[in-house]
Structure 1
Amino acid sequence: MSTKRYDGLSRRGFLAGTGAMLATPALAQDLDSVNSAATTQGERDLTETVRRNVSSFRTLEWQPYFSNLRNGAVLVDIDSRALHFWNEEGVYKLYPSSVPLTEDLTRRGRTSVVQMVEGPSWRPTPAMRQRNPEWPEFIGPGPDNPLGSHALYLSWTYYRIHGTHDTRKIGRQSSNGCIGLYNEHIAELYGLTKVGTQVLLI
């Protein structure tokens, strides 16, 4: 089901601290505040310019991964940091994405979209709150929300495919388990998917 509300752009500083999301495993962090960039991959300074050429991503066929395209199909390739979408009408989309920070936070396998929210709210997991007690317990839709403009909730607890207002995170290891897209891309994907869309993370 969809909640039709969205109140604006997110504060980028908070996003730099929280990462693209919310899996329960604890990740050692040295965060003085939610404005820290410590949850984004350490091999590159966030102030550096990073070239992200979508045309260099490898296009894929759906048949090796899905038996059909009923309700559409999403494939997330963690290694190439790309999300693929196909549907029965012949639509194919390829988006750059953010991926989990570490292998421990990465979940692979089959799941599906169970809820779709425009203007999502956000709650840190208990593990996040324990590590960062200064973080708020709840953020509603709008400028402070780390889930961007739209979120696709998966059948796995705490896992989402969602937007981000912090565009530095796309193409990087920057989440606690979720998959992040540019807001314009998650809005497009939101319009193509439905509850029941197949999702496979490899």
Structure 2
Amino acid sequence: MKRRVPWYCLILATAGLVSIQAVGQAPKPAEATHAASLPANIDVAIFRAQVQLDRAGFGPGVIDGRKGRFFAAALKGYQAAQGLPQSGELDGGTRAALDKDAAPALMTMVLKDDALTADFTPDIPPKIVDQAALPHLGYRDIVERLAERFHTTPQLLLALNPALRAPQAGMELRLPSLIPADRAYDVSLSPQWRDTLATLNIGARQPQAAKIVVDKSESLLKVYDSQDRLVAQFPATTGSAHDPLPIGKWSIHAIAFLPTYHYNPDLFWDAAESDGKAVLPPGPNNPVGVVWIDLNKPHYGIHGTPEPARIGRSQSHGCVRLSNWDAARLAQMTSTATQVVFQE
């Protein structure tokens, strides 16, 4: 009798990770969200809440176990969605609501040989025009790949797994528990995009967005369903003083998965005089990340980024920038019927 391998084992195998449990069991929860098991600079309660908020669709920014404005904003958004007082604090009522998701905040997995021999792009030139010569803008190394896959920073990943500084096959890793239960992606999506969704730990089931509201003052993108209920929220970079967010109502023209990037220096006030036009290959380190949601305003869109830790801290050229994982998740919620509102 042929033994059926569960979906999550297949997905983890393609990503170079396997559960340390036997085939047929879920990935092993780490015994882990108590103070003795986490580094001293990681707040256990905040770490757990960040993981739960991320799983619920209210992005706290990169998961780092620390308080910050996007953690507070995620709490406030989640509280609004749950009908709780919007304190922006991890209060008792919010803690009780989050704990309805009883899954662990950490999981333990094992690194495989193929993870160490993946198609990395270790030397990415700093200048955009020079990046056009590369065949692919992939992850630089295994740490960057795992950090993005588990919605965290290389710093936290190494704090949890110091031995990852010298990665070896068979190494046991502790990771934020973000593997979704459902990865039965729509078969109309390309195999490459389905692999990307799996790599970024994006579940197949997402709420459908009737409206997106980007709030410039809060640096947030909010998703509302057809009943005008807040169903998701993500940190965002929203333009700059030189290239402000184009306030108004817009529509989605198209969605490009794993896009190439057409660089035109004539559109950038800060481009070098020597720059020429260039076409950059796709990949997570592409300037617009893994997805481009094209708006009906020429040259403007909502997109990913290769620098998730800088969301809300850096400036854009007027577009809306999300982490790759949030942009991919948003793309699964939206269509050309979704309304887009940019507001102060």
What TM-score do you get using the length of structure 2 for normalisation? 0.38
Residues in 2 aligned to 1:160 and 1:136: alpha-carbon distance in whole angstroms = 19
The answer to whether the Cα contact below 8 Å between 1:54 and 1:96 also exists between their aligned partners in 2 is no
Of 241, 244, 250 in structure 2, the residue corresponding to residue 105 of structure 1 is: 244
Task: Give the 4+ runs in structure 1 shifted more than 6 A.
Answer: none
Greater RCO structure (CA 8 Å; 6+ sep): 1
The answer to whether the Cα contact below 8 Å between 2:212 and 2:221 also exists between their aligned partners in 1 is yes
**Alignment deviations for residues 80-121 of structure 1 (CA, whole Å, 9 cap, x no partner):** 100000122756101001121216432100001110011011
1:161-176 equivalent positions in 2, closer than 5 A = 161-176=302-317
Residues in 2 aligned to 1:165 and 1:117: alpha-carbon distance in whole angstroms = 17
Shift in Å at residue 138 of structure 1? 1.2
Partner residue of 1:85?
A: 223
Matched, 1:75 2:213: yes
Of 98, 106, 120 in structure 1, the residue corresponding to residue 259 of structure 2 is: 120
Residues in 2 aligned to 1:137 and 1:129: alpha-carbon distance in whole angstroms = 16
Shift in Å at residue 167 of structure 1? 1.5
Shift in Å at residue 174 of structure 1? 1.3
1:29-44 equivalent positions in 2, closer than 5 A = none
Aligned in 2, Cα 1:91/1:191: closer, same or farther, shift over 3 Å?
Answer: farther
Aligned in 2, Cα 1:169/1:135: closer, same or farther, shift over 3 Å?
Answer: farther
Residues in 2 aligned to 1:134 and 1:113: alpha-carbon distance in whole angstroms = 30
Task: Report the count of equivalent residues.
Answer: 146
Structure 2 unpaired stretches of 5+: 1-65, 82-207
Matched, 1:56 2:73: yes
The answer to whether the Cα contact below 8 Å between 2:222 and 2:230 also exists between their aligned partners in 1 is no
Partner residue of 1:134?
A: 275
SS at the partner of 2:330? helix
The answer to whether the Cα contact below 8 Å between 1:99 and 1:172 also exists between their aligned partners in 2 is no
The answer to whether the Cα contact below 8 Å between 1:54 and 1:95 also exists between their aligned partners in 2 is no
Shift in Å at residue 197 of structure 1? 1.0
Residues in 2 aligned to 1:56 and 1:129: alpha-carbon distance in whole angstroms = 32
Hey, which of these two has a bigger chunk of helix by percent?
2
Amino acid at match of 2:73: S
Amino acid at match of 1:53: F
Of 196, 199, 202 in structure 1, the residue corresponding to residue 340 of structure 2 is: 199
Hey, which of these two has a bigger chunk of strand by percent?
1
What TM-score do you get using the length of structure 1 for normalisation? 0.63
Sequence identity of aligned pairs in percent?
24
Matched, 1:182 2:327: no
Structure 1 unpaired stretches of 5+: 1-48, 62-69
